[in-house]
C-alpha cells in the first residue's frame, strides 16, 4: 500500500474537480439577449418564460421566481397561512434557512429528528411533535435525496396540515415518477451559486394550487394581487422578485441539467459500487418511492468502530491530503447561537427552550459520522470518480491496518 499523503506520500490527486457554476456561452448569450431586448425586472417576459418552463420541468402548474431560496421559504410559509406563534415541523439537519425562514415568519420551528439511512426527516417521529399549533410540516430533500413523501403526505392529510417541501437542493428529483416541489401544497428551490441550477442567487416556489400560488405572488411582490392595481397592497409582502438576467441565465440550464443529472447519476453509481464495499463506510439510502435524485452532494457515513475508534476528523485530514475534500457538513441547527433566543426580540418563542434539545440521530450523524463530498465532485469523468474511490480505499485501508500511524 502506498504511503498516505499526510505521512509524506504522493497524493492521489492534485487536479481540481470541474468548475461550478459554468459560465457557458449559452448563459452569456441569454443574458445579453435579455439586456438588449427585454425588461430587466418586474413584468419582463424573460421572467414569465422561465417561470412557465421551470414549473413544467418540476411537474408543477405554477412557479414564482424569487430573490433567493430563503425568501421563497418565507413567502411559501406566509402563503400557506402560517401566522405568528404557529409551529412548523422541520428537521434539524439542514441549511439554516429552513429554520430561520420559520422564525422570520414569526413562527416556531419544531425540530424532529432524522432517519440515519437518508439524513431526512424521520416520518415515524412526526406525529408525536404535532400540536394544535402545528400549521405546516416542511421536509427537506437533503442533498437532493427525496424525503419519504408518501408517509409525510399521509400524515399531513390525516391531521389536515399542509406539507411544504424545502427542495432547495433537489432540482429534478422525483418521487414515484413525479418531480418534487409540488407534491404537497408547494415547495421551494434555490439557485444560489453551489446549487445544481445556479444564477449566483435566486429561488423559486412551485405549486399546483391556484389559491396558494396567488398568495405567493402577493407576498413576493409587495402585497400586490394578480390583476390588481400597481399601487394596491393587500398583504404585508416585500420585493422578493428575481431579476430577468438571473431568470435568463437559468433558462439554458433547464436543458443542460439533463446532461448534468446523467453525469451525477453515473458518478454516484461508480462511487456507490466501490465505496459500498468498504467495511465501515455506509452509503446514504433512498426511500422506495424515489425514482430519481438530484445527487446534489454525495453523502456517506463513517463508522469509527470499524477503524479502531479513530475519529472521523482524522479520516477527513487524510482524505484532504490525498486531494479529495471530504468534510462534516451540517451541525444540529438548534445548537446555533441564534436559538439562544431573546424573548424581547422573539416574544412568540417564550417557553420554547432550544438549548435543552437533544436529537440523537442528528447529533450522531453530524458530530461523528457524516462524510460529505463537494457538489462538483460528481461532475467529473470516470477517472475523477476513480480518484475519489482510490482515496477512500487508500485512507480506510491505512486506518484499518496501521491505526498507530494516526496517533498524534
Ligand atoms: C436546504 C436549503 N434550504 C434553503 C436554502 C436557502 O436558499 P438560498 O441560499 O438561495 O437563500 C438552501 C440553500 O442554501 C438550502 O440548502
The answer to whether the predicted template modeling score (pTM) of the entire model surpasses 0.95 is yes
Cα(171)–Cα(185) distance, integer angstroms = 17
What the block records as the C-alpha cell of 13 is: 490527486
Pocket test for ligand 1, best of 68, 74, 77, 97 (most atoms within 8 A of CB): 97
Q: What is the CATH number of domain 5-15+254-406?
A: 3.90.1150.10
Report the atom number in ligand 1 closest to the C-alpha of 140: 1
What the block records as the C-alpha cell of 325 is: 475534500
Task: Give the DSSP letter of residue 18.
Answer: P
pLDDT of residue 225: 93
Q: Separation of 338 CA from ligand 1 center, angstroms?
A: 17
pLDDT of residue 341: 73
CATH 3.40.640.10 in the chain: give the residue spans: 25-253
Q: Separation of 166 CA from ligand 1 center, angstroms?
A: 8
Closest Cα to residue 22, out of 349, 257, 271? 257
Cα(276)–Cα(256) distance, integer angstroms = 29
pLDDT of residue 343: 85
Q: Separation of 352 CA from ligand 1 center, angstroms?
A: 25
Q: Which CATH class is domain 25-253?
A: alpha beta
CATH 3.90.1150.10 in the chain: give the residue spans: 5-15+254-406
pLDDT of residue 253: 98
Pocket test for ligand 1, best of 70, 77, 372 (most atoms within 8 A of CB): 70
**Cell 417541501 maps to which residue?**
165
Task: Give the DSSP letter of residue 124.
Answer: G
Question: In this structure, which residue's CA is closest to atom 10 in ligand 1?
Answer: 69
Q: Which residues line ligand 1 (CB under 6 A)?
A: 68-70, 94-95, 97-98, 140, 166, 168-169, 190, 192, 203
Q: Separation of 168 CA from ligand 1 center, angstroms?
A: 5
pLDDT of residue 86: 98
DSSP 3-state of 109:
strand
Low-confidence ranges of the chain (pLDDT < 70): 1
Amino acid at each position: 500500500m502506498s504511503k498516505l499523503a499526510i505521512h509524506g506520500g504522493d497524493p492521489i490527486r492534485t487536479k481540481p474537480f470541474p468548475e461550478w457554476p459554468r459560465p457557458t456561452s449559452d448563459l452569456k448569450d441569454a443574458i445579453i439577449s435579455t439586456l438588449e431586448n427585454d425588461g430587466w425586472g418586474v413584468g419582463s417576459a424573460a421572467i414569465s418564460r422561465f417561470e412557465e418552463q421551470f414549473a413544467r420541468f418540476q411537474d408543477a402548474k405554477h412557479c414564482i421566481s424569487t430573490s433567493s431560496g430563503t425568501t421563497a421559504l418565507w413567502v411559501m410559509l406566509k402563503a400557506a397561512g402560517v401566522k405568528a406563534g404557529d409551529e412548523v415541523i422541520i428537521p434539524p439537519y439542514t441549511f439554516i434557512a429552513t429554520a430561520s425562514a420559520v422564525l422570520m415568519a414569526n413562527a416556531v420551528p419544531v425540530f424532529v429528528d432524522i432517519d440515519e439511512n437518508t439524513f431526512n426527516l424521520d416520518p415515524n417521529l412526526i406525529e408525536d411533535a404535532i400540536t394544535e399549533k402545528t400549521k405546516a410540516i416542511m421536509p427537506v430533500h437533503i442533498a437532493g435525496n427525496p424525503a419519504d413523501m408518501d408517509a409525510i403526505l399521509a400524515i399531513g392529510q390525516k391531521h389536515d396540515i399542509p406539507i411544504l417541501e424545502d427542495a432547495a437542493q433537489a432540482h429534478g428529483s422525483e418521487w414515484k415518477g413525479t418531480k418534487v416541489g409540488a407534491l404537497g401544497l408547494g415547495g421551494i428551490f434555490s439557485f444560489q451559486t453551489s446549487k445544481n441550477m445556479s444564477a449566483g442567487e435566486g429561488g423559486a416556489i412551485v405549486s399546483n394550487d391556484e389559491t396558494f400560488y396567488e398568495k405567493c405572488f402577493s407576498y413576493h411582490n409587495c402585497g400586490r394581487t394578480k390583476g390588481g392595481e400597481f399601487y394596491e397592497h393587500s398583504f404585508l409582502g416585500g420585493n422578493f422578485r428575481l431579476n430577468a438576467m438571473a431568470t435568463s441565465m437559468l433558462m439554458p440550464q433547464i436543458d443542460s441539467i439533463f446532461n448534468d443529472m446523467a453525469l451525477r447519476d453515473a458518478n454516484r453509481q461508480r462511487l456507490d459500487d466501490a465505496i459500498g464495499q468498504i467495511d465501515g463506510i455506509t452509503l446514504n439510502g433512498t426511500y422506495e418511492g424515489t425514482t430519481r435524485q438530484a445527487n446534489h452532494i454525495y453523502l456517506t457515513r463513517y463508522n469509527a468502530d470499524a477503524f479502531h475508534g479513530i475519529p472521523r476528523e482524522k479520516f477527513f485530514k487524510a482524505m484532504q491530503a490525498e486531494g479529495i475534500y471530504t468534510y462534516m457538513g451540517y451541525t444540529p441547527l438548534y445548537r446555533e447561537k441564534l436559538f439562544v433566543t431573546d424573548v424581547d426580540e422573539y416574544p412568540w418563542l417564550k417557553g420554547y427552550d432550544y438549548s435543552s434539545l437533544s436529537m440523537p440521530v442528528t447529533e450522531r450523524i453530524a458530530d461523528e459520522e457524516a462524510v460529505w463530498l463537494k457538489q462538483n465532485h460528481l461532475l467529473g469523468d470516470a477517472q475523477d470518480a476513480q480518484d475519489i474511490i482510490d482515496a477512500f480505499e487508500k485512507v480506510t485501508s491505512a486506518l484499518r491496518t496501521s491505526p498507530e500511524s494516526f496517533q498524534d
